[in-house]
Amino acid sequence: MAEPLLEVRDLKVHFPTEDGLVKAVDGVSLSLGQGETLGVVGESGSGKSVTFLSVMGLITKKQARIEGEIIFKGQNLLDLPPEEMRNIRGSGMSMVFQDPMTSLHPYYRVGDQVVEAIRAHQPIPKKEAFAQAVSMLKRVGIPRPEERARQFPHEFSGGMRQRAMIAMALSLNPDLLIADEPTTALDVTVQAQILDLIDRLREEFNASVVIITHDLGVVAEHCDNIMVMYAGRVAEFGDRGDIYHGAHHPYTWGLLQSITRVDQPKTERLRPIKGLPPSLIFVPPGCPFHPRCPYRFAPCDVEIPPLLSPDGKHASACHLPLEDKERIFQEEVEIRA
Amino acid sequence: MTAPDTTASPAPPGHRGQTPLIQLVGVKKYFPITRGILIQRKIGQVHAVDGVDLEVYPGETVGLVGETGCGKSTLARCITRLFDITEGQVFFDGQDITKHNRRHMRPLRREMQMIFQDPYASLNPRKTVGTIIGDPFRVHGTVPRNRIKPEVQQLMELVGLNPEHYNRYPHEFSGGQRQRIGVARSLALRPRLIVCDEPVSALDVSIQAQILNLLEDLQEEFNLTYVFIAHDLSVVKHMSDRVAVMYLGRIVEIAPGDTLYENPKHPYTGALLSAVPIPDPVLAAQKRRIVLEGDVPSPIDPPSGCRFHPRCPNAQFPKCKEDDPRLTPHHPGQVAACHFPLEDRAVIEELAK
Amino acid sequence: MGRYLIRRTLFLILVLFIISALTFVIFLKLPAGDPARRAAGRRATESTIRQVRINLGLDKPWYVQYGRFAKGLIPWPGFFLNEQVYFSYFNNVPVKEQLYSRIPYTAVLALGGAATWLLLGIPIGIVSAIRRRSFVDRAGMVFALFGVSAPVFWLGFLFLFFFWFKFNQWFGWGFPPSGIPTEESLGTAVLKGRFLLPWLVLSFTFAAFYARMVRGNLIETMGEDYIRTARAKGLSERRVIFKHGLRAALTPVVTMFGMDMGYLLGGAIITETVFRIHGLGDYAIRSLFTNDFPAVMGVTIFASFFIVVANLLVDVAYAFLDPRVRYQ
């Protein structure tokens, strides 16, 4: 089996604050192969963004206590000096963020911002870089790219701005593209366009893509593998079929039962997860989900459930025995066809 | 003046013969754009709402869905008369309230309320929760002073808040709880109509479900009528009996939720539906994609003829460019404004049984 | 842009009218003695005084008097502060002459002070923002608090006491006290260092203010999303701070600077008085104390003119700096 492109081993990111130690990420492990897409699903406070900001080196040991390993193309990024990390950031791996309105600098022309990204890693003359920038803008589907490159961000619509961000992120042909809620701030038809664009470019560039989102629909349609996070830990990991047609974690069940779906009639009542997400300072002992879990039993408030996988692929962090997990899914969660 | 007899779309089953609680006839709301040196001249208008006919019957939930710039939030504010409308008429329970000034609207404010999107911005941070929920009583004088606190606490319990938190401030609550406060506030005067403008968009998924269930329960208990606005089609469809799809200030299709999903007639509806991601890989793979090009045009200068023609994959010229289609009936309860509507089952092959 | 400029110029004239009218009304109501008597001199006879009154137009009704002043508002050669009306009661010289001869002193004070405070304040602000809570940050903010709170006249005398008087006592040499002798030209005065103490005093307050402002703006800018994007592109931290953060953070500072310069060109009254520099501020004080009405009107209008023009230039500059503003 080929070596994975990115491997995260037991990553912990703790922020010391006045109120206490915020355990934003508390033991996350994952593995991503070349050309794969990974969907990272979780609500606010799950640690999904912090995990990948740490992978990118945008959260450093100066701001937080970081433990564990982040292995990218064989190198542990946490051991690298900042200079070398900077070389990787933007060219080996790049990131696209949620709000395209504020993610581009309002004072500089869009083309110049793409040029800046290129020239930060390749010492080529400005003219050449600008031509590259224009061709990238064209590849992401921006019409009249030469004209648009000379415009300012506020002259672009939301969808176009996000395309420009993607162009900037892909301009150096990275192996890994991380998209943090790339479509949350966009209209649904624009969202579909952008996600299709990411799919297409992934193939063209042969890159691996991580999509971080709270939208279970998005990952169902665009991701091969899915990781569900809760309170800074991985609750479940599996491929599309595993998660949607055979999930093994009560939190995943809860999510599946509480989301609205276009294909469901109105009479189907939502079944929300009781309670509120936990504080990351005072994380519940044992399994962090146990206060809200309708299936909790003896070990749940004492022992942290390890992320185990009976078949080597589909893993869940829950004490329930496998037969129970399968039974509960079939009886209670599976959408009645 | 009384409401007209003819309605834009046929009354839904179960409501035949009823007077609609809200009736909009040809409602337009334009915002002027001005320029000038010392004196501002009007050089254009934003056609936020550009000719809407809609009826909302007692007890039902009508959903309004559309993307940025479609005018749904503006329309919501026209329904509750938070705006003066530029043209057209608004009827509440048969009564023409189009020209009502503030004084005349006051007693009606008890009957219609709004819940807003941002639970962080729509509550006054300097007031306690008890004061916020109790203010409607004070303003309208419906409850004697000494009875306000117990009434408020009752409301708090009703929406799932701890009545002992009466004296807390908004910042001490989570987003979902703040939204519950907003709901409690809107219920205080036992209105008949509540317009919900994106009430769950800013909330996490698991909290969204709690609030949506709460809204449904309250509707049953208090026989409320809802106008439910959201950009998320799955949320709107879940909450609504009928869904109206808006584009550039007009309603392009109205249909019962299931009909809309199975047999959308307007290509824009089809595009919206096909764009909504379905959290089920098998069903998602069966979806037929209707992809739109480009971005939503500006409501300042809407396209001629059918407003959707520049982006419509079905458009045929010259008809679509010259002729503005009217809402015509299709399946029972469904109307759509399109010269070349979609075939049945255009987006979804299999029905979700 | 052209339309915008026309509008602003009209406002300029309007503002000058309002200011001159208010000044006029204040003077009308001031029980400060008969200006004609003062203008006529000490040993004038009653008839002389009466004649002077007629000459100066003081016997005419108030609206006529104002009308004559108003003609001098139009910022056009031949009209602006014309000599017929704006003629000092006190010195018997045209106000305009006096103003023009004093402007260089004020300008040197203002420009030198500005250079000093920018060189002092902006770097402190930047370092404080980048190294928050470090020693430099805390020291910088203490300095800022001091500078903002210390009254200029107090600071001025303090500086004179130490750097001139005490230094002379201790070292036999002190910074020149800066009252500029009449035979010295402005150039010589600058070279002799007579402006050093006034520049320092003037800049102290402004540097403090600018340090705080730059610090606050930069901290805010560095928290923006586009900074995160810049870092994600792999740019060096220096480039992120200067090209992305500072560029946005300094824009409000530029506008502030424009307005401060406009204000100072109208005369830094206290500094000029403490250090005996014969600039516009000094002139304003003197005219007030001697009830020299045309002089007061003249210097007020002159100063207002600078401020309004500075505001206009600042707005134009802002449009250059922030592309979002251009497309109104």
pLDDT digits (tens, 9 = 90+) for A197-248: 999 999 998 899 999 999 999 999 999 999 999 999 999 999 999 999 999 9
Task: Please give the residue that has the higher pLDDT: either C293 or A108.
Answer: A108
Spell out a b/e string for A300-337, using b for 16 or more CB atoms within 10 Å of the CB, else e. beeebbebeeeeeebbbbbbbeeeebeebbeeebebee
The answer to whether A208 faces chain C, any CB pair under 8 Å, is no
CB of B159 closer than 8 Å to CB of B214 = yes
Q: How far apart are CA B108 and CA B99, in angstroms?
A: 13
Which sign, positive or negative, has the C-alpha torsion B163, B168, B174, B179? Answer: positive
The answer to whether C241 faces chain A, any CB pair under 8 Å, is no
* Nearest neighbour of A266 by CB, restricted to B206, B210, B257: B257
Taking CB atoms and an 8 Å cutoff, what residues of chain A touch B237? Answer: 260, 262, 266
Residue A248 Cα, gap to closest chain B Cα (Å): 16
pLDDT of residue B338: 93
Spell out a b/e string for C149-165, using b for 16 or more CB atoms within 10 Å of the CB, else e. ebebeebbeebbeebbe
Say whether A105 and C234 touch across the interface (CB within 8 A). no
pLDDT of residue B106: 86
The answer to whether B246 faces chain A, any CB pair under 8 Å, is no
Q: How many residues does chain B have?
A: 353
Which residues in chain C belong to E strands, given as ranges?
none
Q: CB C283: neighbour CB atoms within 10 A?
A: 28
CA nearest neighbour of B174 among A276, A273, A81: A276
* Nearest neighbour of A106 by CB, restricted to C233, C236, C324: C324
pLDDT tens string A79-105: 999 999 999 998 899 999 988 889 999
Which residues in B198-310 belong to E strands, given as ranges?
225-230, 242-247, 250-256
Longest dimension (CA), chain B: 69
The rounded Cα C290 to chain-centroid distance in angstroms is 22
Cα dihedral B125/B129/B132/B135 (nearest 10) = -140
Residue of A nearest to C249 (CA): A107
Q: How far apart are CA A22 and CA A43, in angstroms?
A: 16
Residue of C nearest to A169 (CA): C233
Q: What is the pTM of this model?
A: 0.85
pLDDT of residue C40: 65
Residue A273 Cα, gap to closest chain B Cα (Å): 6
> In B, residues 68-97, which contact A (CB 8 Å cutoff)?
68
Q: What is the ipTM of this complex?
A: 0.87
pLDDT tens string B130-142: 999 999 898 888 8
pLDDT of residue A70: 95
Task: Please give the residue that has the higher pLDDT: either A335 or C281.
Answer: C281
Residue of B nearest to A239 (CA): B281
The answer to whether A116 faces chain C, any CB pair under 8 Å, is yes
Taking CB atoms and an 8 Å cutoff, what residues of chain C touch A168? Answer: 229, 233
The answer to whether A106 faces chain C, any CB pair under 8 Å, is yes
> Could you check whether the bond before residue A145 is cis, i.e. omega within 30 degrees of 0?
no
Taking CB atoms and an 8 Å cutoff, what residues of chain B touch A272? Answer: 206-210, 213
Residue with tokens 């091969």: A224
Q: How far apart are CA C133 and CA C136, in angstroms?
A: 8
Taking CB atoms and an 8 Å cutoff, what residues of chain C touch B38? Answer: 7, 10
What's at B250, amino acid-wise?
Answer: R
Say whether B206 and A255 touch across the interface (CB within 8 A). yes
* Nearest neighbour of C233 by CB, restricted to A99, A107, A117: A117
The answer to whether A212 faces chain C, any CB pair under 8 Å, is no
Say whether C225 and A168 touch across the interface (CB within 8 A). no
> In B, residues 268-297, which contact A (CB 8 Å cutoff)?
271-284, 289, 291-292, 295-296
- How would DSSP label each residue in B215-230? HHHHHHHHT-EEEEEE
Residue C143 Cα, gap to closest chain A Cα (Å): 27
Interface test with B, best of A142, A187, A189 (most B CBs within 10 A): A189
pLDDT grade for B353, boundaries at 50, 70 and 90: very low
Taking CB atoms and an 8 Å cutoff, what residues of chain C touch B37? Answer: 3, 6-7, 10
The answer to whether C131 faces chain A, any CB pair under 8 Å, is no
CB of B268 closer than 8 Å to CB of B248 = no
Specify the range with the lowest mean pLDDT, choosing from A149-158, A199-208, B229-238, C4-13. Answer: C4-13
CA nearest neighbour of C271 among C281, C257, C283: C281
Q: Which chains touch A (3 or more CB pairs under 8 A)?
A: B, C
List the pLDDT tens digit at each of the 328 positions of chain C.
Answer: 677 777 777 887 788 888 888 887 777 666 556 666 666 666 677 777 777 777 766 777 777 777 777 777 666 666 676 666 677 766 777 777 888 888 888 888 888 889 999 998 999 999 999 888 888 888 888 888 888 888 888 988 888 888 888 888 887 777 777 677 767 777 777 777 778 888 888 888 889 889 999 999 999 999 999 999 999 999 999 999 999 999 889 888 988 898 888 888 877 888 888 888 888 888 888 888 877 777 888 888 888 888 888 888 888 888 788 888 765 4
Q: How far apart are CA A55 and CA A8, in angstroms?
A: 8
Per-residue tokens: A189: 């038809």
pLDDT of residue B352: 46
pLDDT of residue C172: 72
What's at A313, amino acid-wise?
Answer: K
> In C, residues 10-39, which contact B (CB 8 Å cutoff)?
10
Q: How far apart are CA B68 and CA B229, in angstroms?
A: 12
Who's near C291: CB < 8 A, 6+ residues apart? C30, C32, C33, C35, C38, C89
A59: left (phi over 0), alpha (psi -120 to 50) or beta: beta
pLDDT grade for B36, boundaries at 50, 70 and 90: low
pLDDT exceeds cutoff 50 at A337: no
pLDDT of residue B251: 94
pLDDT of residue C97: 81
Residue A84 Cα, gap to closest chain B Cα (Å): 37
The answer to whether C133 faces chain A, any CB pair under 8 Å, is no
> In A, residues 25-44, which contact B (CB 8 Å cutoff)?
43-44
pLDDT above 70 covers a percentage of chain A that reads 99
Interface test with C, best of A56, A62, A88, A103 (most C CBs within 10 A): A103
pLDDT tens string B76-114: 999 988 889 999 999 999 899 998 888 888 888 889 999
Chains A, C: CB contacts under 8 A, how many? 70
The torsion angles phi and psi of B256, rounded to 5 degrees, stand at -60, 150
The answer to whether A337 faces chain B, any CB pair under 8 Å, is yes
Which sign, positive or negative, has the C-alpha torsion B303, B304, B309, B310? Answer: negative
Q: How far apart are CA B218 and CA B199, in angstroms?
A: 15
Q: How far apart are CA C227 and CA C218, in angstroms?
A: 11
Q: How far apart are CA B272 and CA B150, in angstroms?
A: 46
Residue C61 Cα, gap to closest chain B Cα (Å): 33
Mean pLDDT taken over chain B: 87
pLDDT of residue A319: 93
Say if residue C135 is exposed, middle or buried (CB neighbours under 10 Å; 0-12, 13-18, 19+). Answer: exposed
pLDDT grade for B298, boundaries at 50, 70 and 90: confident
Q: CB A117: neighbour CB atoms within 10 A?
A: 27
pLDDT above 90 covers a percentage of chain A that reads 74
Q: How far apart are CA B251 and CA B243, in angstroms?
A: 10
Residue B38 Cα, gap to closest chain C Cα (Å): 7
Q: How far apart are CA C328 and CA C313, in angstroms?
A: 17
- Beta pairing class for A20-32 and A208-213: unpaired
* For range B57-68, the mean pLDDT: 92
- Beta pairing class for A6-17 and A20-32: antiparallel
Q: Would you call B112 helix, strand, or coil by DSSP?
A: strand
